[in-house]
Amino acid sequence: MTAYDYGCLIGGAWQDGAAMTFETFNPARPRERIGSYRPASPEMIEEAVRNATQAQKAWRKVPVAERIRICTAFFGAIAARSEEIALSITLEQGKPLAEARNEAAKSLGEAAAMTAHVLSGGTERMADARPGFQNMVARRPRGVIAAITPWNFPILTPMRKIAPALLFGNAIIIKPSEFTPSTVCLIGEAANETLPAGLLQIVLGSGDVGAALVGAPGVAGITFTGSVATGKRIYALGAGNLAELSLELGGKNAVVINDVDDLESCLDQVAGAAFMCAGQRCTAISRVIVAEPLRPQVEAGLVRRAEAQKQGDGREGGVTLGPLTTGAQFARVRRMVEAGVAEGAMVLTGGASSVGDPETEGYFFAPTIISGITPDMSVAREEIFGPVIGISSYTTLDEAFDILNGVEYGLTSSLFSKDFGVIQRFVAESESGMLHVNHGTIPDNHMPFGGIKNSGVGAYSVGASAAHFYTTEHSVYLKAQ
């Protein structure tokens, strides 16, 4: 039975668009069809941009306090659907229902924090340089925002883009992943109840729809979360219109375990950061870099935690680890683990499918611990995006930092140490956009979220820094007559 049946949301109305349909399936039961969707035609994308342009002209004139009131009602309509949204996440993405509920709650928490940032004001008084002048910097809404979102966080990532876009006075057109579109469609239902038509529009489809959207004339800003390869293509497409860009890309995140009083607590946090969302999160810890004397204890502790995971359909009680979201992702994880073994890595647990036939029984890959990783191995350098932890060891801090920074990514990193000198060095030298000391890699709702190197381009999302993408900056000089 099909649970969801949607076309595109254009100008406040659901439209069928292209004649072809695409379907989604439960990754825990790949033959269970979940949704049927009609993708956007090129004409619909043009119509969406026209609608957004008109809606944004009126929306930008609405006083900030009134915009916040309307957006708060919109967020409330989403909250009223939180259980329905959580179920949609589990059905199409695969994560356990409790984890999906937490994702929905965090998305609303971040929206509330962003509301507070916007309420604090957008004009900064500057020092005067000449007699009779007053200097200030003002910010204005950027315009029409195009957003492309991935399949791993069906509500959190879209809301990270929708909430600031609207609160800062923009209109937004969003293309969710073709593997998990139902959640954004439910957000669209909430938008139709609370927002002016055209402010939030949804176009469905695969990469061709996304390319048409980000390359459309009239789009002033492009925000994308996904792979480095796709991010580079979007970067090139956006250049045609000189659109502002905010790209959140991949990660190969590491934790350095140097010295700890409570190793059990440390490993609980590492395993949680690694196995949440079945490892399919850009901030997942996938590399453990441990001081050699601690390596045997760390290996044994992580193996115990991996083997304690309960895999299954996220609707079932007690499940802690869902399937990988797509057959292609399952194949990639298996292929990368096999490549690591061929290069000399040792599988301590897992390393293969948890079921006999993934195409019928679900895309379940066993939680995996690999040790003996050296920096030249593919599993040490490339993003796996699955429930896989690779363990490396070191004898000197210089070696640890060389391993930590020796990848093309720079999203997030973590250090466990009680040595303040080591902590200071980590904060000064770790080549990551987000640094965590003595805890895992879970970000707070109000803190800037983003990366450096191949992990990101442009302003960070979440927090005050989001204004640098969702608004334009204007130097203002006031002189009395």
- Answer whether 425's CB lies under 8 Å from 396's CB: no
- We report the CATH number of the domain holding residue 335 as 3.40.309.10
Residue with tokens 């820094």: 465
- Answer whether 386's CB lies under 8 Å from 275's CB: no
Pair 242, 308 in one domain? no
pLDDT of residue 360: 96
Question: What whole-number distance in Å separates Cα of residue 168 and Cα of residue 159?
Answer: 14
Pair 15, 87 in one domain? yes
Pair 65, 170 in one domain? yes
Distances (CA, A) of 206 to 23, 39, 201, 212, 390: 12, 8, 16, 10, 32
Question: What whole-number distance in Å separates Cα of residue 160 and Cα of residue 163?
Answer: 6
Residue with tokens 């004397």: 293
Helix or strand holding residue 347 (H, E): strand 346-349
Give yes or no for residue 1 having a pLDDT over 60.
no
Instruction: Give residues with Cβ within 8 angstroms of 234, minimum separation 6.
Output: 148, 210, 214, 222, 224, 245, 247
Please list the residues that pair with 409 across neighbouring strands. 453
- Given 244, 248, 299, 383, the catalytic residue: 248
Burial 309-338 (b: 16+ CB within 10 A, else e): bebbbbeeeebbbbbbbbeebbebbbebbe
**18: confidence class by pLDDT, cuts 50, 70, 90:** low
- Answer whether 245's CB lies under 8 Å from 222's CB: yes
Pair 153, 208 in one domain? yes
Mean pLDDT for the chain overall: 96
Tens of pLDDT, residue by residue over 123-140, are 788 888 888 899 999 999
Distances (CA, A) of 23 to 7, 46, 150, 203, 413: 12, 24, 16, 15, 37
| Section 215-226 average pLDDT | 96
User: How far does the chain reach from its first CA to its final CA, in angstroms?
Assistant: 72
**Based on the structure, what is the number of domains in the chain?**
2
Helices (H), 276-394: 295-307, 327-342, 358-361, 378-381
- Given 277, 282, 299, 382, the catalytic residue: 282
Instruction: Quote the Cα angle for 378-264-321, to 5°.
Output: 55
Rg of the chain in Å (alpha carbons): 23
Pair 413, 467 in one domain? no
- We report the CATH number of the domain holding residue 26 as 3.40.605.10
Pair 137, 283 in one domain? no
Pair 260, 233 in one domain? no
Question: What whole-number distance in Å separates Cα of residue 201 and Cα of residue 55?
Answer: 11
How buried is residue 237: exposed, middle or buried, by Cβ count under 10 Å (0-12/13-18/19+)? Answer: buried
- Residue-number span of the structural domain to which 240 is assigned: 4-249+455-478
Which among 245, 316, 302, 261 is positioned nearest to 459, based on CA atoms?
Answer: 245
**16: confidence class by pLDDT, cuts 50, 70, 90:** confident
Pair 199, 323 in one domain? no
Instruction: Quote the Cα angle for 71-118-62, to 5°.
Output: 55
pLDDT of residue 2: 65
Give yes or no for residue 209 having a pLDDT over 60.
yes
pTM of the model: 0.96
Pair 198, 64 in one domain? yes
Give yes or no for residue 19 having a pLDDT over 90.
no
> In the chain, what percentage of residues exceed pLDDT 90?
91
| Section 231-253 average pLDDT | 93
Pairing of strands 221-225, 144-148: parallel
* Catalytic residue flag (residue 248): yes
Tens of pLDDT, residue by residue over 137-171, are 999 999 999 999 999 999 999 999 999 999 999 99
* Catalytic residue flag (residue 282): yes
Tens of pLDDT, residue by residue over 323-374, are 999 999 999 999 999 999 999 999 999 999 999 999 999 999 999 999 999 9
Give yes or no for residue 217 having a pLDDT over 80.
yes
Pair 215, 143 in one domain? yes
Q: Which amino acid is at 329?
A: Q
Question: What whole-number distance in Å separates Cα of residue 299 and Cα of residue 20?
Answer: 50
Pair 297, 190 in one domain? no
- Answer whether 175's CB lies under 8 Å from 184's CB: no
